[in-house]
Structure 1
Amino acid sequence: MEIKRIESMEQVKQLTISPERKFYSATHEEILGGATTDVYFVKTLEILDHLKLGETPVVAEIFPRREGLLAGVQEVINLFSGRDVSIWSLPEGSSFKAKEVVMRLEGPYNQLGLYETALLGILASSSGWATAARAAKKAAGQKPVYCFGARHVHPAVAPVMERAALVGGADGASCILGAKLAGKEPVGTVPHAVFLIVGDTVKVARTYDEIMPPDALRLVLVDTFKDEAEEALRVAEALGKSLHGIRLDTPSERGGVTPELVKEVRSRLDMAGYHHVKIFVSGGLYPEKIEALAVAGADAFGVGSFISGAPPIDMTMDLKVVGGQAVAKRGRIPGITPNDRLQKVL
């Protein structure tokens, strides 16, 4: 339900929550209406309005506390679209240094102040996820990395996270909406559940091959029932040339996926003539492990919690010009901070 833009404490008090509301996540209308802002920005607007200063022109700059990769720019643009606000930003997907100005906003304070909480949160979370995805991709080298992190975060932000991972360099994402928002198709095979229900890996593999569309890669889990190498050979024999690859997702209770396991499975597949079968690895992956598994012979990686659990990169917004005069709080330099990498985006 669309709500009126919140500009006073009376509106805050009048905001009621329907008892029929099913989820605690904010709607697009609530974000645009200011309902996700910190309440002190509403108090600020009310004070400035009382003093007839709400339309004071300001320039605000945003900088990060640590280096990383910028994501979330498009959502910030959408947040301010239609308002009297101009934005300059590093392009989405750009690397940045700690304390570098990554975005500059200019306009009347009452057009941008209410959204400081939202825009900082958008950039902080998205940049944290994108930065983690970049680290995973760097460790994998030329081999593909897919984001499987949707199950580790609230469903309301899962698409945001997976889109940020794609900005960071991930080659694909399993969350349907996350992939679609980035202009891609979702990727993934099937979970252990189907094997446990059917009771036989080969039967599942053959059924998958029979009913899935031609563009769905024939990639089969091989760690549900038997030794991974043995099961990989059974599946390879059953599907032959149509088998694209096998997936190793051995749980930590069995030692997880190790370089030694990857080497053995690769060797046994090659010895049996299945050189075309790729090895896809998932389960508790992080850059150092990805690098070791890539050297051992893994061909692709599904990364979940390393990306989804990445900490946000703290972002700070400072007013640097007020009413045409250079200003800054103590400890900061007044006036616009030069950065020729910024581009006009709104």
Structure 2
Amino acid sequence: MRNIIKTLAQVDAIQVEEGRRMFSAQHEEIVSGATTDIYFVKTQEILAQRGLENTVVTAEIFARREGVLAGITETLALLQDCPVEIWALQEGQAFAAKEVVMRLKGRYCDFGIYETAILGILASSSGWATAAREIKKAAGEKGVLCFGARHVHPAVAPVMEKAAVIGGADGASCILGAKLAGKEPSGTVPHAIFLIMGDTVEVARAYHEIMPSTAPRTVLVDTFKDEAEEALRVAEALGPALEGIRLDTPSERGGVTPGLVKEVRARLDQAGFQHVKIFVSGGLDPERIILLKEAGADAFGVGSYISGAPAIDMTMDLKEIEGKPVAKRGRIPGITPTERLVKMK
């Protein structure tokens, strides 16, 4: 049985242990209600004191702006032991502004404490999924990997990258994020190893020799020399085994431009390396991806555009109390007509 917070006395009894290693909430803390806003605990206590804890309500959650829905699986897991009925859109479905994305029916005391967590899960996950969908739309048939884990707290990095895959990303670099999305993590090696070993070709050869045959042979070529020159050196060293080169030129050197992609593509083709793909990363957004794709880029690694996407604000409203239509001022009482919601629980 869950030990769910229902009173202020329980809140007062919570002690944060001295020397706690990480500030992120543990799963048990989320389930207990420790990450909720305090006013939901006060509400529970008042209702219980007035004998209204068994009041049956219907609540609806709607989005403030359009987007792609993610976070349904986690929300259902959070509520799996609650005696509440749930209807919702499916993971990955697009929704319109103000559209109802989830409906819950049950005793308010059984799920009201989770409003903060539910809205946070859906808002953040949907924001990331929506950004990933925008990136994938720009990339079209070209591959997209999410490289955003380094931009967010590690506690939520797997959530973000799983949401990115729901939104359309083809893969993710974060180990746990990729695994949660049913994929294997994607990525080769960072600039650090090139700086340590001192030569791009030496790193390429070592990677080819040591890494398993299933690991893609894609090599960074912007660490030391001109990108086109390094691309040719690596291609000549690895030959048919080289699957691609990665351009990640820093902004201090102008970043990856369509002109650079065109030059690298042309020089590789002229040297007989038409099979070598061009993978681009570094500060990408949909507009840049469209230009780079037209220039010859074959795949993209996207970080901050996805990880830094704003959450899509979600609101939970009570629409029925004991079967009677209700609503706060400005909202229409009663269940919102929709045929898009699917019974989940």
The TM-score, its normalising length taken from structure 2, stands at 0.99
Name the counterpart of 2:272: 273
Q: Partners in 2 of 1:175 and 1:226 — Cα distance?
A: 29
String of CA shifts for 1:15-68, please: whole Å, max 9, x gaps.
Answer: 001113101100000000000000000000000000110110000000000000
Name the counterpart of 1:175: 174
Name the counterpart of 1:42: 41
Q: Partners in 1 of 2:69 and 2:198 — Cα distance?
A: 45
String of CA shifts for 1:220-246, please: whole Å, max 9, x gaps.
Answer: 000000000000000000000000000
Q: Partners in 1 of 2:243 and 2:344 — Cα distance?
A: 42
Q: Partners in 1 of 2:2 and 2:57 — Cα distance?
A: 27
Tell me how far 1:3 sits from its aligned partner.
Answer: 8.1
Tell me how far 1:324 sits from its aligned partner.
Answer: 1.3
Runs of 4+ in 1 over 4 A off after TM superposition: none
Matched, 1:89 2:52: no
Name the counterpart of 2:312: 313
Q: Partners in 2 of 1:36 and 1:54 — Cα distance?
A: 21
* 2:70 maps to amino acid: A
Q: Partners in 2 of 1:277 and 1:149 — Cα distance?
A: 25
Name the counterpart of 2:284: 285
Q: Partners in 1 of 2:141 and 2:33 — Cα distance?
A: 43
Matched, 1:112 2:111: yes
RMSD: 0.8
Asked whether the equivalents of residues 3 and 30 of structure 1 are also in contact (C-alpha less than 8 Å), the reply is no
Name the counterpart of 1:295: 294
Q: Partners in 2 of 1:182 and 1:111 — Cα distance?
A: 30
Tell me how far 1:106 sits from its aligned partner.
Answer: 0.5
Name the counterpart of 2:147: 148
Tell me how far 1:4 sits from its aligned partner.
Answer: 2.7
Asked whether the equivalents of residues 70 and 94 of structure 1 are also in contact (C-alpha less than 8 Å), the reply is yes
Matched, 1:236 2:210: no
Tell me how far 1:125 sits from its aligned partner.
Answer: 0.1
Name the counterpart of 1:193: 192
Name the counterpart of 1:126: 125
Q: Partners in 1 of 2:28 and 2:19 — Cα distance?
A: 17
The unaligned stretches of length 5 or more in structure 1 are none
* 1:16 maps to amino acid: Q
String of CA shifts for 1:160-218, please: whole Å, max 9, x gaps.
Answer: 00000000000000000000011110000100000000000000000000010111000
Q: What secondary structure is seen at the aligned counterpart in 1 of 2:182?
A: coil
Tell me how far 1:312 sits from its aligned partner.
Answer: 0.1
- Which is worse superposed, 12-21 or 250-259? 12-21
Q: What secondary structure is seen at the aligned counterpart in 2 of 1:220?
A: strand
Q: What secondary structure is seen at the aligned counterpart in 1 of 2:23?
A: coil
String of CA shifts for 1:110-152, please: whole Å, max 9, x gaps.
Answer: 0110000000000000000000000000000100100000000
The TM-score, its normalising length taken from structure 1, stands at 0.99
| Matched-pair identity in % | 71
String of CA shifts for 1:253-310, please: whole Å, max 9, x gaps.
Answer: 0000000000000000000000000000000000000010000000000000000000
Paired residues in the alignment total 345
The unaligned stretches of length 5 or more in structure 2 are none
